[in-house]
Amino acid sequence: MRVIHAGFAANQITATIARAREIFRPIAYSSHYSSRAGALLQAEAIAITRPQRRVVIAGLAGNILEWYDFSVYGFFAESIGQNFFPSHSRTTSLMEAFAVFAAGFLMRPFGALVLGHLGDRKGREHALTLSVLAMAAPTFLIGLLPTYAQIGVAATVMMVVLRLVQGLSVGGEYTTSVVFMVEQSPSERRGMIGAFGTAGAFAGVMLGSAVGAAVAGLMPAAAMHQWGWRIPFLAGITIGFAGYALRRELRAGSIPPAVAPPPIGKVIKAHWAKILQVTGYKALDAVGFYLMFVYATTYLTEIVGLTHGHAMAINTLGMAAAIIALPFAGALSDRVGRKPLAVAAAIGVVLFAFPLFHLLWHPKLSVPLAGQIGFALIIAMFQGVSPAAAAEAFPAGVRCVGVALSHNLCMAILGGTAPMVATYLIARTHNEMAPPLYLICAAMVSLAIVLTMTETAKIPLAE
């Protein structure tokens, strides 16, 4: 089966590249940009001044810590399903574990409202400090939870409650940090600096993946499922202390906004159209990230048949490629605009999702790795643009709430549910290639919305 998939992929990629040349030609960059792209990215994406470095570190630190904590649940969903959602069917147990993963996302819009409003009212730094604490505590407690076999349904209930608290925290962390980074950046570098916020989220997930790979590689599978999965959760408390120390220093120098923001209800009433537009724009953000960097490990082990260690290693290297690509994509968007890169990335997903997914089935590990890196680079092109594009869509007084609400609505509806939807589609259709169809649909939604948006790369931030 895997050989057939891989052989088909080679032919499909060749044909797709030919089609891509014709489709991308109308939106290709001018020869001026093409000839200078490499030099531009080397000179501008890497050279960061000392004040800009402080902004990047402040935003990166919390995102790495928060997303490590939040993502380890997804990586150990199989073990968590067996210990907290036992069932005669492994698929049912896994779907229930992913349902609780999705439940955390349902709380994200509420966290977005609370922490976003706090960021607009008290200052970005206050909200960022609180969010780190609200993530570290429940993550540590998950590592201590007794299992269903020990205390019955109470274990399941406590797992759900702790995931909901995590969802509240993440709802305000990522968006508040990228708003902070974009606002503190020179106008000609908003895309690049903002992209480091996304890179921090990827780095946190990659750290969780790397820890997962180490745990899976250093102990027998039975031990990992029984108690080894707890190690990454317990380690979260030390990461939380480090994050709080970094953010507390940042908070000491913060200055509250001069003008108090309007009530949340008025923000939604006045900006509902823009909130919905940015929500739709982020469809590819949500499905791309959670399908290809959280669900991917489960797909590679449960469906393709790789070992847990190999799946974690492939996922970790794919995210490393994305982390490197994100600031370059953001820097390029500062020069050529947000829309050209977003359009190119969305079309790239539509064209290459099926061929790259076929590569995941090849028996030689380097080929699935190439497929995962291919996904990483295309998705990074889109997500490198997103932080600046979202922040530029709202005026300063409502920027935290606007960005947080639109981002987390999309993540709650499409992101958190992506692993569960992928699992359901495969079980329902008996087709292992169903997940890329879901990814393509998300890319088409984002593409349609991007085409309606105003180019904001060269426009000052609205006050």
CA 306 to chain CA mean position, Å: 24
Dist. CA 101–CA 423, nearest whole Å: 13
Dist. CA 200–CA 178, nearest whole Å: 10
Q: Does residue 345 belong to any structural domain of this protein? A: yes
Phi then psi for residue 408, to 5 deg, are: -80, -25
pLDDT of residue 455: 94
Q: Structural domain tally of the chain?
A: 1
CA distances from 25 to 30, 40, 206, 295, 351 (A): 10, 22, 34, 33, 14
294 DSSP assignment? T
Q: What is the pLDDT of residues 24-55, one digit of tens each?
A: 444 444 334 334 434 444 444 445 666 666 66
Q: Which domain holds residue 352?
A: 2-254+264-450
Q: Does residue 457 belong to any structural domain of this protein? A: no
Q: Does residue 459 belong to any structural domain of this protein? A: no
pLDDT of residue 277: 95
pLDDT of residue 370: 94
Q: 101, 420 in Cβ contact below 8 A?
A: yes
Closest to 73 (Cα-Cα) out of 145, 16, 131: 145
Q: Does residue 463 belong to any structural domain of this protein? A: no
Q: Does residue 280 belong to any structural domain of this protein? A: yes
Q: Does residue 461 belong to any structural domain of this protein? A: no
Q: What is the pLDDT along the chain (463 residues), one digit of tens a residue?
A: 554 454 545 455 555 445 444 444 444 443 343 344 344 444 444 456 666 666 677 667 667 877 787 678 777 877 888 888 887 777 777 777 777 777 777 777 777 777 776 766 666 666 766 777 777 788 889 999 999 889 988 988 898 888 888 877 777 777 888 888 888 888 888 999 999 989 988 888 788 877 877 887 788 888 888 888 899 888 878 777 776 776 666 555 454 555 555 667 777 788 889 999 999 999 999 999 989 987 888 888 888 888 877 888 898 899 899 999 999 999 999 999 999 999 999 999 999 999 999 999 888 889 999 999 999 999 999 999 999 999 999 988 788 888 988 988 898 889 878 888 998 999 899 898 999 999 999 999 999 999 999 999 988 887 7
Dist. CA 160–CA 156, nearest whole Å: 6
Closest to 41 (Cα-Cα) out of 254, 328, 442: 328
At a CB cut-off of 8 Å and minimum separation 6, what does 74 contact?
98, 101, 290, 294, 295, 297, 419
pLDDT of residue 375: 95
- The 3-class SS string of 246-260 reads HHHHHHHCCCCCCCC
Q: 169, 66 in Cβ contact below 8 A?
A: yes
Q: Does residue 225 belong to any structural domain of this protein? A: yes
Q: Does residue 462 belong to any structural domain of this protein? A: no
CATH at residue 122:
1.20.1250.20
pLDDT of residue 77: 78
